[in-house]
Amino acid sequence: EIVMTQSPATLSVSPGERATLSCRASQSVSSNLAWYQQKPGQAPRLLIYGASTRATGIPARFSGSGSGTEFTLTISSLQSEDFAVYYCQQYNNWLHTFGQGTKLEIK
Amino acid sequence: QVQLQESGPGLVKPSQTLSLTCTVSGGSISSGDYYWSWIRQPPGKGLEWIGYIYYSGSTYYNPSLKSRVTISVDTSKNQFSLKLSSVTAADTAVYYCARESDYWGQGTLVTVSS
């Protein structure tokens, strides 16, 4: 099983600033990585797939990078609606796994 | 626009079988080479992938749940289903169905309690 480790567990950032979230895989997942945003009481929302491709309707302030075992989600200028929990997920093999999540909170 | 909706009992007794159905609208479950997933989230915790199925019937399950999980598809009803046997309190969670990564149901809370 590929273990996905996200860091930090909690990130405090002020609105308008940049946020950088990390996700590490225990072995290479190539570019088969997705990022999701989840707000309280809601289903996860796909932000990024293929490590760097924005999903339909996702604002350009969200960007993903990385390949292999190291991945980053960057939110360039935080808006109030961006404060949420973010998950990465690998789908490189049939056994898909999620990271434990990073909570992005207002500083 | 594809939409998914979970349905099933919100309360299941310990040792019984949890059964949920996901109804797909706005698109055929048989069209395209998509897989259809179940994911769960215990209260206050992270996401756990349960497994998925292709419309052909091929299935893939999380090894930690494999002995208790069955996912099936009914193309005539445009639905797919989850059965989880021998449930315990640890199976209490919001259960989501999804089409690959992009379309998700709203989730349904299933509580395991006597």
Q: What is the pLDDT of residues B83-110, one digit of tens each?
A: 999 999 999 999 999 999 899 999 999 9
Inter-chain CB proximity A97 and B49 less than 8 Å: yes
Which of A10, A1, A3, A32 is CA-nearest to residue A98? A3
Bridge partner residues of B84 (DSSP): B18, B69
Q: What is the mean pLDDT of residues B43-51?
A: 96
- For the stretch A27-66, pLDDT in tens is 999 999 999 999 999 999 999 999 999 999 999 999 999 9
pLDDT at B57: 87
What pLDDT, in 10s, does the model give residues B1-36? 999 999 999 999 999 999 999 999 999 998 878 999
Retrieve residue B65's tokens.
Answer: 């749940």
Give the pairing of strands B59-61 and A10-13: unpaired
* Chain B residues close to A39, C-beta within 8 Å: none
Residues of A in contact with B96 (CB under 8 A): 43-44
The pLDDT assigned to B69 comes to 97
Query: A-chain residues within 8 Å CB-CB of B101?
Result: 34, 36, 46, 49, 55, 89, 91
End-to-end alpha carbon distance in chain B: 39
Q: Are A90 and A4 in contact (CB under 8 A)?
A: yes
Q: What pLDDT is recorded for position B55?
A: 84
Confidence of residue B53 (pLDDT cuts 50, 70, 90): very high
Structure letter (DSSP) for residue A55: P
